[in-house]
Structure 1
């Protein structure tokens, strides 16, 4: 299965995301922000970093990149899309996911290993987890507070679209301790912590992040069966 990883000017975790795809058993394909097509990939990862320098708002310029026109179209057709940190911000700015990510409530950049609870395994990116499973992956952000109006938050909760939730305290002021969400179909997932930094022993807190990448490969193989 071919998984494309988009590089925007200012991306810094794209190489890590490609390595995570490879370690999971997939074929990682480098996509450039100016690409007018997705080169036949089966899924897409929007990585962390500071796309276009985070000018205006995080992800606000990246949403207009040529490649995002194709990502939005493909996501609408059911292609799995994962947004990590800055990629989550891009998904919200592109209206593939609701809500927004704002500056941390303590006004400081943070970097730490973060415990999460997997709230939903009913997505293309979490099918190898179990609902209620607790995992630890790195978190690093300055604008990681997830916000939305009450009606949207209630809808996300009621439809089972809260995918990850922070444990051991809220690190950035995200409403209802939300660390990640999905679209209605479950093929688009955004999360603020970094699973690509927890895919190898001795290079992070463990292997808990690998499950997101093996999940999408499993979903792809099942779709082909």
Structure 2
């Protein structure tokens, strides 16, 4: 069995970028916005966590997370499906900082990326940025979501006016509005998106934004802010994983 040596240096707001060339895998974590999350998502859904188990795999330790889908958002998934994935751990006891935390019974909106090259490891894209805990108001039924970084990068670098227009155009009901009604709705939606850049965000609003983004090619480019600013920045976490051959 292969052994894995890890070098870990700091951590904070994250996205997971894995390069599996040769025997060295470099894992870098950077801030991402919703457009980047959607662009790199294999499937997204609202689901209830059924179990979280620590397991050992041929590639190292992992958490096996199992969820029941309540509502499909993106990709090949439907309500009632059971979805399981293995998210990487540093060891049997130590978790990888920035990785989403789950517990049985919790409800989450999860933007699940594809498996890492050459491994069975899989996680929400952007790690804790791409997984949102769902909080429901028992009196009103309203649902709000918050990722592990308080949604702080969610719409940073995103052209909220262009996104608001796309959301309206992607809604069969709102597409039938008059031009003046569309303008009014779009303006209100853009303001709501701007307000959701930090703190709890409306679940339906995030789903609508994600679906509008997924409807176009390269949403991170299509919805980039006109001033050219992006969520890019200094790399805030880096780990190097070396997997020597037997």
More contact order relative to length (CA 8 Å, sep ≥ 6)? 2
Q: TM-score, normalised by structure 2?
A: 0.29
Q: Greater helix percent: which structure?
A: 1
Please identify the structure whose Cα radius of gyration is greater: 2
Q: Greater strand percent: which structure?
A: 2
